[in-house]
């Protein structure tokens, strides 16, 4: 238990669906992150939020839309995804964007059919 | 560009010390060495970090060579629950640099 929770843990969606992934941290952190982990590939950073402001978008397609309403919650809105978007989506948080440790949630296993 | 080089896989007998090497020959003076691990189908877990001195915590020890071009993560008494992919990462702490994961070392603890 890292203090970072993600829901749902598993999601199957069609290419025309719209769904959202949710991340919540109970650590009092100010920075939150979305990562993507595809099969047999390293983790890829997608987005970074620091004090609710997006500070990094790592050339992510617009079919992924992040939202950070407050420092404790982070969402990833998904629409018109492709099968190659199937992956493990991981949320992480850290005290600040420049601090040592990031704490990761368990991830959402997404399958796009 | 890969900043670190790790062996793709290693085995270690249960109860023995697991020594995981990492080469980071181009490390800069202000870059720290971090270790994370990822147990199958879970999120990565922070283990330890260091700049130039050896470090120890409840999970592991980190030995950094004097020239800082390589390091070794030591799990002193490996258990089956230590089976995971271990990532060695170098990163500047202050300056918002990203945490960039490579392919890591898949450590298998053998009963």
Condensed to tens digits (0 to 9), the pLDDT of residues B83-110 reads 999 999 998 876 667 788 888 999 999 9
Tokens standing for residue B83: 């089976």
| A92 with B43: Cβ contact below 8 A | yes
| A98 with B95: Cβ contact below 8 A | yes
Q: Residues of A with CB below 8 A from B42's CB? A: 106-107
CA distance A67 to B9: 38
Q: Which residues of A67-88 are buried (b: 16+ CB within 10 A; e: fewer)?
A: ebeebbebbbebeebeeebbbb
Q: Interior CA angle at A110 toward A109 and A111, to 5°?
A: 125
Is the separation of the CB atoms in B107 and B14 below 8 Å? Answer: no
Q: How far is CA A90 from CA A38, A44, A103, B80, B93, in A?
A: 11, 10, 10, 24, 21
Q: Residues of B with CB below 8 A from A21's CB? A: none
| A2 with B96: Cβ contact below 8 A | no
The pLDDT assigned to B53 comes to 87
For A53-79, the pLDDT digits (tens) are 999 888 999 999 999 999 999 999 999
CA distance B51 to B32: 5
Of the candidates A57, A49, A55, A43, the residue with the CA atom closest to the CA atom of residue A93: A49
Give the H/E segment covering residue B22: strand B18-23
CA distance A6 to B20: 30
Q: Interior CA angle at A85 toward A83 and A86, to 5°?
A: 75
The pLDDT assigned to B2 comes to 60
For A4-49, the pLDDT digits (tens) are 999 999 999 999 889 999 999 999 999 999 999 998 788 999 999 9
């Amino acid at each position: 238990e890292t203090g970072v929770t993600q829901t749902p843990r598993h999601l199957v969606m069609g290419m025309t669906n719209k769904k959202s992934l949710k991340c919540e941290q109970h650590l009092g952190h100010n920075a939150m992150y979305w990562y993507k982990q595809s099969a047999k590939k390293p983790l890829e950073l997608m987005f970074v939020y620091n004090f609710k402001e997006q500070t990094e978008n790592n050339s992510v397609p617009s079919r992924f839309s992040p939202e950070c309403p407050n420092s404790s919650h982070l969402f990833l809105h998904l629409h018109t995804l492709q099968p190659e978007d199937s992956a493990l989506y991981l949320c992480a948080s850290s005290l600040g964007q420049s601090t040592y440790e990031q704490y990761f949630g368990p991830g959402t296993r997404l399958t796009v059919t | 560009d890969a900043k670190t080089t790790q062996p793709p896989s290693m085995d270690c007998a249960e109860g023995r010390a697991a020594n995981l090497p990492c080469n980071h020959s181009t490390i800069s003076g202000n870059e720290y060495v971090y270790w994370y691990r990822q147990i199958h189908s879970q999120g990565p877990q922070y283990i330890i970090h260091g700049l130039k001195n050896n470090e120890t915590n409840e999970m592991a020890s980190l030995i950094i060579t004097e020239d800082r071009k390589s390091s070794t993560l030591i799990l002193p008494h490996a258990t089956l629950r230590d089976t995971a992919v271990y990532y060695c990462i170098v990163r500047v702490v202050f300056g918002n640099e990203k945490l960039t994961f490579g392919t890591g070392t898949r450590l298998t603890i053998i009963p």
